[in-house]
Amino acid sequence: MAANHRTRQLLRYLPVLPAVLLLLVFLAGPVLWAFHSSLTNAGLTGRYARNPEWVGLQNYQRLLQDPVFPLSLALTVLFVAGSAIVGQNVLGLALAVLMRRARPVVSATVGTAVVAAWVLPEIVAAFAAYAFFSRDGTLNQLLGQFGAAETDWLYTVPMAAVILANIWRGTAFSMLVYRAALDGVPAELTEAAHMDGAGPWQRLAFITLPVIRGSIATNLMLVTLQTLAVFTLIWVMTAGGPANGSTTLPVLAYQEAFKFGDIGYGTAVASVLILIGAVFGAAYLRLLRERKP
């Protein structure tokens, strides 16, 4: 009887199987595969492409000695901190706050412009950003109006260019999250504070932000994870250059694996990236659990 019940219980969950299979083969599989091949000398072509040899932790030792890896790690931190945690997050919040004070027509129009950059296919957004920052691009045209000399932004300050481009590309997400969050702040609270003589900045700092702190934490986590994975934007704009000046971890992993043909070393870089993502993912889940009543 008990066994019968258990079989029925299992049968009920049979429809989950296709999804679980897909996830195991194409998501969990590659993750395990990454850890495995980071311990081999797998190559893109040649002898070690088909029959890689086990090399133990050699790739990780090389990682620690390679001067490009710490640079790449630092650039990734800079990219995430600059474009996601500060840029998208703060600008998104600012937009959401301003939109509640501005006229509906204005906030709808500006909202459309911000969202458009986000909805466009990533390769198109990357081209537009590339054209904007290039030597004879729109930015230099604008600055030329004020008599500034022409600068090759993508060459002289590649990180600043890709960070600004990613803020442009991704702020819509934070804006949408914060607009929804602000809609949930009871008007009575801010009005009461206003009666007590609190100015707009004080109301924002002491009423609104504490009330939406849950959304802020969630948003920070999600934009961090999204930005950690950005590849196309950087690849099209600078291809990681010049001289590795904008090689974040996804670009480094790609380069090592496909440009230099060293799959083993490339997957070692990718494994580090996966681990960083997993840490942030776990932190995100904890956050969600705590927020649950």
**Interface with other proteins, residue 42, by CB under 8 A:** yes
Residues numbered 211-230 forming contacts with other proteins, rule: CB under 8 A: 218, 222, 225-226, 228-230
**Interface with other proteins, residue 30, by CB under 8 A:** yes
Q: What is the dihedral of CA 82, 84, 86, 91, to 10 degrees?
A: 120
**Rounded distance, CA 22 to CA 26, Å?**
6
**Interface with other proteins, residue 273, by CB under 8 A:** yes
**Interface with other proteins, residue 86, by CB under 8 A:** no
**Interface with other proteins, residue 155, by CB under 8 A:** no
Member of 3, 64, 101, 196 binding other proteins (CB under 8 A): 101
How distant, in Å, are the alpha carbons of 17, 60, 247, 263, 277 from that of 24?
10, 26, 30, 22, 18
Which is nearest to 66 in space by CA: 260, 235, 224, 239? 260
DSSP for 103-147, written as a single string? -HHHHHHHHHHHHHHHHS-HHHHHHHHHHHHSTTSHHHHHHHHTT
DSSP for 58-81, written as a single string? HHHHHHHH-THHHHHHHHHHHHII
Q: Cβ 56 to other proteins, closest distance in Å? A: 18
**Interface with other proteins, residue 104, by CB under 8 A:** yes
**Interface with other proteins, residue 23, by CB under 8 A:** yes
**Interface with other proteins, residue 100, by CB under 8 A:** yes
**Interface with other proteins, residue 202, by CB under 8 A:** no
**Rounded distance, CA 158 to CA 259, Å?**
20
Member of 78, 85, 102, 204 binding other proteins (CB under 8 A): 102
Q: Cβ 102 to other proteins, closest distance in Å? A: 4
**Chain CA centroid to CA 25, Å:** 24
**Interface with other proteins, residue 119, by CB under 8 A:** yes
**Interface with other proteins, residue 156, by CB under 8 A:** no
Member of 66, 71, 122, 152 binding other proteins (CB under 8 A): 122
